[in-house]
Amino acid sequence: MYQSFVGLEIHVQLKTETKVFCSCAANYGDEPNTNVCPVCLGYPGTLPAVNERALEMAYLVARSLNCDLAPVCHFDRKNYFYPDLPKDYQISQFHRPLGTKGYIDLEFRRNHKRVRIHEIHLEEDAGKMIHAGDMSLLDFNRAGTPLLEIVTEPDLEIGDEAEALLQELRRLVRYLGVCDGNMEEGSLRCDANVSVNLRGAGLGSKVEIKNMNSSRFVRKALTYEIARQQEVLERGGSIPQETRLWNENRDITETMRTKESAHDYRYFPEPDMPPFTADEAFLERVESRLVELPAPRRERFVSYYGLSQSQAEFLCDERATADFFEAAVTAGAAPDQAALWMAGDVQKWLNRAATTLTETALTPARLASLLSMLAHGRIHGKIAKQTLTRIFEEDTDAETIIQREGWEQIRDETVLGEFIDTVLSENTRAVDQLKAGDARPMGFLVGQVMKATAGRAEPQLLQELIRRKLDYNVIHVLSFGGAIAGRRQEDGLVVPGDLVDVHELFAGDPAVPDSLRFSEVQLGQFLSEEITPADWAALITTVNETITSANTGGVVIAHGTDTLSYTASLVYWFFSDAPVPIVLTASAVPGNAGGRSDAVDNLRASILVAAGEERGVHVVYGKDDFYPINLKFERAGYTAVARGAAGRAGRDEVAGDRSDFYAGVFRNWNKDGLRRSAPALAAEARELQRAELTSRLEEALSSVFVIKVYPGLSGDALISLMDAGVRYFILEIYDTGTANLRETPFSLRKAFDEGARRGVSFFCTSQQEGTVDFSEYVTAHELWRRGAIPMGVLTTESAFTRLVAAMLVCEDDRAVVHTMEEAE
Amino acid sequence: MWPKTLKNAPGQGNYLEFLARRDKSVGAFLHVTGSIRQNGGAPSDSGADGGNTCLEGVPVAVKDNIAVEGMPLTCGSRILEPLVSPYSATAVERLERAGARVVGKTNLDEFGMGSSTETSALGETNNPWDVSRVAGGSSGGSAAAVAARMVPVALGSDTGGSIRQPAAFCGVYGLKPTYGTVSRHGLVAYASSLEVIGAAAESVDVLEAAYAAMSGSDVMDQSSLDHPVPPPDSGATRIGFLGGELGLSPEVAENYARFVEALGDAGYETEEIALSTLEYVVPAYYTIASAEASANLARFNGVRYGHRTDYSENPEELIRKSRTEGFGSEVKNRIVLGTYVLRSGFQDQYYLRAQKIRTLIRREIERAFAGVDLICSPVFPTQAFPHGSKEMDAFQQKVADRFTGTANLAAIPALTVPSGLAGGLPVGMQFMAPPFGEGRLFAAARTIGEIFPVEFPPGMEPPWAADRE
């Protein structure tokens, strides 16, 4: 087993107005050689004079990275010849850097780590040389601009982690306002030191990697380099100490210079500048510039505003966005709504317009007032979206737009009540039908009132008022296969069937209120083990139509037991934000068994939950209201006796002791922290046409494979699947994340190596209840090192459906992986 | 003190012609201005910024390693031969603001590396007392220009004795100020931690006036300092003279003995002192100076200014060839030595050890000044030696720096004063004072000047003599 050590040397260009040792403007993008003077051009006789603003920024970063701050620091000369280095030495810090012994906390794929900062020092940048034909051209605008070098200890292990660290550091310097953090333009640059050795043997020989011009290249280059070194060592070779360059065209690293030709920088103290003393006034200035950093701010957004981790990450990515959010909340917006809108429609508009939040006409106050109108029902969601677009386009506030457009909804109960009374009195037949138990006229009546108000009636309130006036509530029952809708034949076998007439079934049932009306939809005649992607597509589009229609009090999905944990979690990823309860249920015994079937009990319980107040997705079975994700079909209490008795011998025995019969059939794994209601992961995809959704589901399913790891599983099998087009594996591994990665055909090792080459992702769930976080065993850590993604508390079924849902809404593989990493 | 002849236009042409004429035999100048600029283009605000009107109209020569805007800045080297300075040194600006006029740039050992001005790649400078002899170095041109009555004062730089030794060779005053009191901005760096701008002058008065105008902290040089307030007492009563076997030529030894005696005659208490660190001065000095020089001279690469080789395949070759062609052998010698002593793994043995010695020297000097107000010593073991002297080869010249190097390593001020003639050639002796003790040096120089007045080479009449009242 090998261990990899990665340390980074990160250069941060400080955004000072003037250069670090002279008073030239620090705008290196200007016309070449315009921001230069005798000092930064290295003219004879000139001397450096340190810019205290640069030192202030440097100390600020060091302070924010928890460094020990040097009370006195001095500069050293680093000697090397290069045409773009005016003095042929660089003024840097070597003997007494301004910051030492710091750290930054990092979380990558559930692995928490404190990456130590070895030192931070201030230095000057060089100019830029470009080769044009048989000439070399030099631009010294950048020469002498302040550069902060941050050197980490070799605490990182993999390329992905290095990328995450760079991104966090980028956020940090942007929060502090000392750098724009643009790697492509070179304002943030990174070199890396990589060493691989047998586990426990300490550091191996050090290889320096340069020329990585984006955080993505850092990840790719390090991933490549670690694998390369490991392969060399496995073959019995050794790694020479050298400097290598990342070749972004070939995706490999190549030798640049060996140890023998390494520079001897001959550091010695800079005699032209006295040591810098960080006195009290200076340190106070540094202290006054401290800001709340991204990491604590994210934590606060989760704990204080109750946002999800991913919402907090989104909002805190940029300080301006997080500030905007908090300002909107201060202006009265509900935190969850503000977060939802900012990550949703606001961001969509920004992407389309290719702009940033602060450059638009949307202010926190305008967003807050828009959301408050929505919350108070003065406008509905669709109008709110239109209003938002108008705010961006017209630079005015929501109130003005709504007044001018006449978009405000009628939500005065008295006014609406009058419209309703008129419509009801004019449509007595429809009213009678409703009273008789038919739900269908509801849509018609709502439509009539809408028409009467010229479309301005607030639909939810309107529905609520009609319901109240006529005293009824519509529950949509969707029949989606399974025994609950099936029939038992004479020979005892269960076959697919129609759902029983619910209205008839519960007529006179004292537990079911008379006010309920039922609308039944038959989605398919199959047993739940026969579900196809087309069936799922049909279910999703139907549920979507149902919850968006005006007359829905709740939805019940009658399903089978076998695949319920899949469908329930899939429904959750699509509809966790539903405005009404969505209840999945199932039965083991067909409904045509009448009062003696569990179908009737489960349906009744489901209908009551669906008619209740608790929005979100439920799974009702027996007396239990389960969470839709992490549902496990365990049959613990569902004994052969019960089944046999129910099936053939006689159903009376089943009816005798119902509680035993239901107990332990389903269970939620890792129940703590599960929710029914949340922003929906795949809300966009549910708007797709059924045929389109079907084909996208089929496509997604064709690139996913679920594998249960077992002793003797061969890596080659997985590689064959990759050949067949599988790009994502759900690996159900042992315990909290262990699997065999030894050098043997009966391990996953080859599959991981090959997968890394092909960009295949491995999402790991457990065969036992527990959290997969790779924290405990060295084999688990090895999985993490090799890029496996721990799925935390999610079960295989829920991880699988999350992956499918993610593939429908994500633009690329990276986004899919990120969505999976963010799983609760 | 100074006739105003040169202030206004009519006299100028004649003066510049005079300079050209007289310099034919001396070779003090590498460049003489075509026209003397008034105030150097700087606003005349002599009231502010310590301006000293007694320099009004005074012609001044500037060593060619100190920047004067619009004039060459060759450092006596081929590699900077084409360079015209885009700016002026702070010291020059301040002198001009005080009324002085820069008339030209004087010859020097290449980048100040030498004690004879013979390593200059651009010209030979002769001693005005005897043109077959050297004027000393590295500020040989400046000292010679003053001795030849071409200017009353000339700027030089002193890294290890580079003002004081040529001043002694030419029989004039030569000041090496306290490190940091004169801004180094505009002084082409050779050994940054040792060197300082100073001057050679015909009189203590003009020297003091020039120093007063030049000194004081400067934002362009963060190692620059103001004199402490109040300044150290300018009166001295006790003078320690360096005793023991000093390896002097018979002429210098005899002169030194007379000088020490004269100190007593002038009323000073004298006592013989010994400096145990004396034998370490030269090794420590050359180690530190070469180390710093190896970095300071790295910037001369032909890329941005100065000599560039005619043809090169790539930028790296351009640098290599330009430097090979542009530097003289003494410069290359010291760059190689400096690179050697700074190698990683060898710094302890050389560079850091030299820094420790430097600290010991500084401490010994501090201790010495607890007992005496000034230290007196010879400047150089010999008088001006002949051009191309075999006895005084490059190595012997370095060994001979032992009396002057101490002041640079200890960052203290030192002043060469004329001490009469021997065999028709001048001799000079040196006073050293504690940091910021320039006033004490000037006072002592005036006192001893009563006994050893400055003398000039026969026949070298100044152009301004006719105007003297």
- Token pair 């960052």 is found at B411
What is the C-alpha to C-alpha distance for residues A346 and B198, in angstroms, rounded to an integer? 69
CB-CB under 8 Å, A79 with B301 = no
Answer whether A9's CB lies under 8 Å from A192's CB.
yes
Euclidean distance between CA atoms A691 and B396, whole angstroms: 98
Structure tokens of B2?
């100074």
Q: Do B222 and A272 touch (CB under 8 A)?
A: yes
Pairing of the two strands A554-559 and A581-586: parallel
The lowest-confidence range among A649-663, B140-154, B321-335 is: A649-663
Q: Provide the residue type at B325 as one letter.
A: E
Q: Considering chain A, what is the average pLDDT of its residues?
A: 89
Compute the nearest-CA separation of B188 from chain A (Å).
4
Only one residue has tokens 């002041």, namely: B407
Of the candidates A79, A267, A273, the beta carbon closest to that of B223 is on A273
Is residue B6 predicted with pLDDT exceeding 50?
Answer: no
ipTM: 0.93
The per-residue pLDDT for range A515-526, each reduced to its tens digit, is 888 888 888 777
Answer whether B301 sits within 8 Å of A44, measured CB to CB.
no
Under a CB-based contact definition with an 8 Å cutoff, are residues A179 and A13 in contact? yes
Parallel/antiparallel/unpaired status of strands B173-176 and B414-422: antiparallel
Task: Say how many C-beta atoms besides its own lie within 10 A of residue A303's C-beta.
Answer: 10
What pTM did the predictor assign? 0.89
Q: Which of B8 and A358 is assigned the larger pLDDT?
A: A358
d(CA A816, CA A809): 8
> What DSSP state is assigned to residue A346?
I
N-term to C-term CA, chain A: 31
- Residue B110 identity: E
Please answer yes or no on whether A44 and B188 come within 8 Å at the CB atom: yes
Q: Which of A38, A44, A50 comes nearest B222 by C-beta?
A: A50
Amino acid in position A296 = P
As given in the structure block, the two tokens for residue A528 are 């739940």
Which candidate from B86, B187, B342 shows the least CB-CB separation from A38?
Answer: B86
Tokens of B83: 């360079």
Which of left, alpha, beta for A377 (phi over 0: left; psi -120 to 50: alpha)? left
| Residue to test with chain B: of A24, A41, A268, A270, most B Cβ within 10 A | A268
- Assess whether pLDDT exceeds 50 at residue B42: no
Average pLDDT value for residue range A113-135: 94
A473-668 and A703-821: identical CATH topology: yes
- Specify the pLDDT at position B53: 59
Pairing of strands A146-152, A111-124: antiparallel
Choose, out of A24, A36, A46, the residue to mutate when testing the contact with B (most B CBs < 10 Å): A46
- Is A288 exposed, middle or buried (CB count within 10 Å of its CB: 0-12, 13-18, 19+)? exposed
Task: Output the CA angle A735-A739-A742, nearest 5 degrees.
Answer: 155
C-beta atoms of A46 and B185 within 8 A? yes
Is the confidence at residue A489, as pLDDT, over 70? yes
Task: Report how far residue B136's alpha carbon sits from residue B169's, in angstroms, rounded to the nearest whole number.
Answer: 6
CA distance to partner chain A, nearest, from residue B243 (Å): 33
CB distance A10 to A189 below 8 Å? yes
Q: Can you read off the two tokens belonging to residue B82?
A: 């084409």
Inter-chain Cβ pairs, chain A and chain B, closer than 8 A: 113
What is the band of A644 on the pLDDT scale with cuts at 50, 70, 90?
A: very low
Among partner residues B86, B298, B344, which is closest to A43 by beta-carbon distance?
B86
For residue B220, which residues of chain A lie inside 8 Å, CB to CB? 46-47, 49
**Cβ atoms B300, B79 nearer than 8 A:** yes
**Backbone phi, then psi, for B82, in 5-degree steps?**
-80, -5
Tens-digit pLDDT profile for residues A330-344: 999 999 999 999 999
Say how far apart CA A74 and CA A273 lie, in whole Å.
Answer: 8
Please indicate whether residue A661 or residue A650 has the higher confidence score (pLDDT).
A661
Closest residue by Cα to residue A176 from A188, A184, A186, A164:
A188
Q: Residue B328's pLDDT is what? A: 97
Cβ separation A45–B185 shorter than 8 A: yes
For A9, which DSSP code?
E
Find chain B residues with C-beta within 8 A of A47's C-beta: 184-185, 189, 220-223
Q: Contact A745/A714 with Cβ under 8 angstroms?
A: yes
With an 8 Å Cβ cutoff, are A89 and B65 in contact? no
Chain A residues whose beta carbon lies within 8 Å of the beta carbon of residue B315: 83, 129, 136
User: pLDDT (tens digit, 9 = 90+) per residue, A207-218?
Assistant: 999 999 999 999
Residues A663-690: b if buried by 16+ CB within 10 A, e if exposed? eebbebbbeeebebbbbbbbbebbebee
If you measure CA to CA, which chain B residue comes closest to A262?
B344
Contact B298 A89 (CB under 8 A): yes
Span A565-580, average pLDDT:
95
| Cα A798 to chain centroid, rounded | 15
Q: B39 to chain A nearest CA, in Å?
A: 22
Closest CA to B106 of B70, B69, B137, B83: B137
CB-based contact A274:B222 (threshold 8 Å): yes
Arithmetic mean of pLDDT, B426-432: 98
Average pLDDT over residues B9-32: 83
Are the beta carbons of A87 and B291 separated by less than 8 Å?
Answer: no
Interface mutation target, options A24, A92, A266, chain B, most CBs of B under 10 Å = A266
Residue A493 has pLDDT above 80, yes or no: no
The C-alpha of A18 sits at a distance from chain B's nearest C-alpha, in angstroms, of: 15
Interatomic CA distance for residues A542 and A550, integer angstroms? 14
Query: What are the Cα distances from residue A68, in Å, to A60, A278, B136, B195, B220?
Result: 12, 12, 52, 35, 31
- Please name the CATH architecture into which domain A703-821 falls: 3-Layer(aba) Sandwich (3.40)
Q: How far apart are CA A91 and CA A568, in angstroms?
A: 63
In chain A, whose CA is at the least distance from the CA of B296? A87
Q: Cα-Cα-Cα-Cα dihedral of A807, A813, A814, A816, to 10°?
A: 20
Count CB neighbours of A709 within 10 A.
Answer: 18
pLDDT of the residue at B465: 52
- What pLDDT score was predicted for residue A458? 81
Chain A CB contacts of B189 under 8 Å are 44-45, 47, 272
Contact of A44 with chain B, judged by CB distance below 8 Å, is answered with yes
**Fold classification of A473-668 (topology level):** Rossmann fold (3.40.50)
* φ, ψ for residue A650, nearest 5 deg: 165, 135
List beta partners, residue A13. A147
Range B162-176 average pLDDT: 98
Question: Whose structure tokens read 């702070």?
Answer: B90
Residue B463: is the preceding peptide bond cis (ω within 30°)? no
Parallel, antiparallel or unpaired: strands A473-480 and A554-559: parallel
Q: Is A365 exposed, middle or buried, given 0-12, 13-18 or 19+ CB atoms closer than 10 A?
A: middle
The per-residue pLDDT for A596 is: 58
Query: What's the pLDDT at B7?
Result: 39
pLDDT of residue A735: 86
Q: How far is B369 from chain A (nearest CA, A)?
A: 25
Q: Mutual orientation of helices B204-214 and B438-449 as an angle, nearest 10°? A: 170
CA–CA distance, B245 with A822 (Å, rounded to integer): 84
Written as six digits, the tokens of B371 are 């007992």
Which residue, among A9, A75, A79, A76, has the nearest Cα to A264 in the 3D structure?
A79
Domains of chain A by residue range: 2-262, 298-405, 429-470, 473-668, 703-821
Which of B74, B222, B292 to mutate to probe the A interface, most A CBs <10 Å?
Answer: B222
- Length of chain B as a residue count: 469
Q: Tell me the per-residue pLDDT of B375-398, one tens digit each, with 9 for 90 and over.
A: 999 999 999 999 998 888 888 888
Contact list, A267 vs chain B (CB under 8 Å): 344
Find residues 83-112 of chain A whose CB sits inside 8 Å of chain B. 83, 86-89
Domains of chain B by range and CATH? 1-469 (3.90.1300.10)
Q: Are B249 and B255 in contact (CB under 8 A)?
A: no
* CB atoms B305 and A43 under 8 Å: yes
For Cα atoms A179, A181, A183, give the angle at the middle one, nearest 5 degrees: 140
- The neighbouring-strand residues paired with A244 are A209, A255
Q: Which residue has the tokens 């004072």?
A: B433
Indicate yes or no: CB of A266 within 8 angstroms of CB of B342. yes
Burial of B420 (0-12, 13-18, 19+ CB in 10 A): middle
Cite the active site residues of B.
63, 138, 162
pLDDT of amino acid B44: 42
Half-sphere CA count of A507, side-chain side, radius 13 A: 8
Structure token digits, residue B171:
């029989």
Instruction: State the average pLDDT over residues B6-21.
Output: 66
Q: What does DSSP say about strands A473-480 and A516-524: parallel, antiparallel, or unpaired?
A: parallel
Q: Which residue from A719, A727, A729 is spatially nearest to A763, judged by alpha carbons?
A: A729
Q: Burial, A281: exposed, middle or buried (Cβ in 10 Å; 0-12, 13-18, 19+)?
A: exposed
Write the residue in B67, B86, B295 that is nearest to A79 by C-beta: B295
Mean pLDDT of B39-59: 56
